[in-house]
Amino acid sequence: MWKSAKLMDSLSFTDRAARAIWRIVPKGTLSGAIGWGARRQLPGPLRAGLLARFASNYGIEVSEAEKPLSEYQGFDDFFTRRLRPGARPIDAGQDAVVSPADGTVVDCGTVTAGRLIQAKGVFFALSELLADEGAATRLEGGAYLITYLSPRDYHRVHSPVDGRVIGWNHVPGSLFSVNGKSVLREPGLFTRNERFVTFIQGAAGLTAVVMVAAVGVGHVTATYDEDVATHDARFVRAAVRRRVYDTPRAIARGAELGIFHLGSTTIAIFEPGKVALAPHEPGSSTRMGASMGRVL
């Protein structure tokens, strides 16, 4: 049962006002406009300076980027940048489970009674998050890690385990901001926002990696399936919400799964009895490829 009444009692007037405003803002239109602007090509002579200022404003570590700033065509091109080789070494332990993304830990725990914790005791349902009752049943009692990606973070998402991608679900939804204050203001935010779920089967059992979209996210693309570009007109018109592969697609631990075109949140959920996660305190930082647990 949602704890929304208790949550509302705890919000300040400013938070209540912000909550009311965000609920009436046309978030899809706003996100589309931001995405359109981010994809525009910047003038060559101004490119490096504008991107350097953007990086400085958000504290982005430019030295980790694969290319010099002048070689990125625009903000989206830079935002979705690859990193230089070796910038994120993948833990080499044979039984390692690695972080799928850079970011800040929102919560780490165990799925209990079909629920995960969003923040400060506010729960949301795993079956709603995944839009898949069967997968939710298999993952009941398993470990999970929620990671928020701020504008300064690397925005490619990687597989935490070795295995095979067996399919995906795309769940349309709203596009609330997913920063810390928004998470506290909006009960069940992660099951209300648009999301893209990748299912991986392997020695670690079933793993679900959820990419939760947010305001400003022009779209999510899947590296393992070129047909997936959640806000492209062709994908939207096709209205395909689920795909199960006849031939599952091999994925290595640390290999790229998908890209956020601007920022958001990842949620990794593991089958019970298959993976043990190390403790991760909310507010701590994660780095893609770093060990966050092990396959049992």
Tell me the catalytic residues. 102, 158, 264
Distances from the Cα of 156 to the Cαs of 16, 88, 256, in angstroms? 33, 12, 7
Secondary structure of residue 76 in the 3-state scheme: helix
As a whole number of angstroms, the distance between CA 280 and CA 262 comes to: 25
The sign of the torsion formed by the CA atoms of 212, 188, 242, 135 equals positive
The token pair that represents 272 in the structure block = 């019970």
- What residue spans of the chain are helical by DSSP H? 4-10, 13-24, 27-39, 44-58, 75-79, 126-130, 133-139, 180-185, 189-192, 233-238
